[in-house]
Amino acid sequence: MVLLQALSVVLMMSTLALLWIKPIGTAIKILSAQSLILGLMAILIAVRTATPDLYIMGGLTILMKAIGIPWILWCTLRKVGMKRETEKLVGRELSILCGGALLAIGYIVTARLHLSALNLGREYLPISISMLLIGLFIMMTHQKAIMQGIGLVVMENGLFMVALVTTYGMPFLVDIGVFLDVFVAVILISMLTYRIDKTFQSTHTENLRRLRG
C-alpha cells in the first residue's frame, strides 16, 4: 500500500516534470518512466486483488507504453533531429504554476464525487484526473508536434489510472481496444510529425495555420 502511494507520488512528479523540461528527448524518457510506473502499479494491484486480467494489462502497459510508444517517438525524433527543444505559448514557470492549479482542481473535483464503487483509496483519483488535465494542457500549450502527441499519451495514461483505481480497469477487451487505438494514434502522430517536418522544415505547429474560417 505504501509502495502504491509512493509510486503515485512519483507519477505526479513526473507529470509535472513534463511541464518543466526543455529537450524533447528528455520528455520522451519521462513519458516512458511514467508508463513504467503505471504498469508496475497495475501489477501491484493485480497481486493484491488476484485479478489475472490486470497482470496482462500491467505487462502490456510496460511493453507498449513504456517501451513501444517511446521507441516510436524516439525514432521520429532522430529523423527530425535530436537537438529539438520544446516551444510553448506559456513560459515554464507559468506552466508549472498552471500544473499546480490543475492538481488542485483534481482534488476539489473528486472530493465532491460520491463514488461508492471506489475500489482503492480516494488519494489516487485526484492524481489521475490531474494527469488527464495536465495532458490536455500540454496539448494546448506546446507548439511542437511531438510534444502534443506526448500530451495525448499523458491523457490516456491518466484515463488508464482512473479506470485502474475506480474499477480495477475496464473490461478486458475494452482495455485492449483502447491500447490498440492509442498505439495506432501514436504511429500516426510520428508519421505526421515526420511529414510536417519534411514539408515545412520544422515541426512547429505554427505552420499549420492555413485553414481558417
Partner 1 sequence: MVAFLSVAVPTATGVLALLIQRAWLREMIHLIGSIATTFIGFLLVWKVTLHGPMTSQNQFFHIDALSAVILAIISIVSLTTSLHSIGYIRHEQQEGLLNVRQTRQYYMLYHLFIATMVLVAVVNNMGLLWVSIEATTVVSAFLVAIYKKGEALEATWKYLMICSAGIAFALLGVIILYASSIAKLGSNNQVLNWTVLSNSHLVLQPDLVALSFVFIMVGFGTKVGLAPMHFWLPDAHSQAPSPVSALLSGVLLNCAMLGLIRFGIVAENTIHGQLIEHLFIGFGLLSVVVAFPFILVQKDFKRMLAFSTVEHMGIIAVALGIGGSLGYAAALLQMFNHSMGKSMLFLTAGNVNQKYKSKQMPRVFGVLRAMPFTGFVFLVGTLAITGVPPFNIFTSEFSIFVAGFRQGHAVTTSVLILFIAFIFAALMFHMMKMIFGEDVRERMTKGEVSRWTAIPLVLPLFFVVIFGLYMPASFTHLIHQASLVLAGGSRV
- What's the rounded Cα separation, in Å, for the pair 8 and 34? 10
Stretch that binds partner 1, among 4-12, 23-31, 82-90, 169-177 (CB under 8 A): 169-177
| Residues 147 and 27: beta-carbon distance below 8 Å | yes
Annotate 60-126 with three-state secondary structure. HHHHHHHHHHHHHHHHHHHHHCCCCECCECCCHHHHHHHHHHHHHHHHHHHHCCCCCCCCCCCCHHH
Supply the minimum distance, in Å, between the C-beta of residue 166 and partner 1: 5
Supply the minimum distance, in Å, between the C-beta of residue 171 and partner 1: 6
Site string for partner 1, 177-196 (x = CB under 8 A): xx-xx--xx--xx-xx--xx
Stretch that binds partner 1, among 5-13, 64-72, 89-97, 135-143 (CB under 8 A): 135-143
Rule CB under 8 A: which residues touch partner 1? 113-118, 132, 135-136, 139, 145, 148, 152, 155-156, 159, 162-163, 166-168, 170-174, 177-178, 180-181, 184-185, 188-189, 191-192, 195-196, 199-200, 205, 207-211, 213
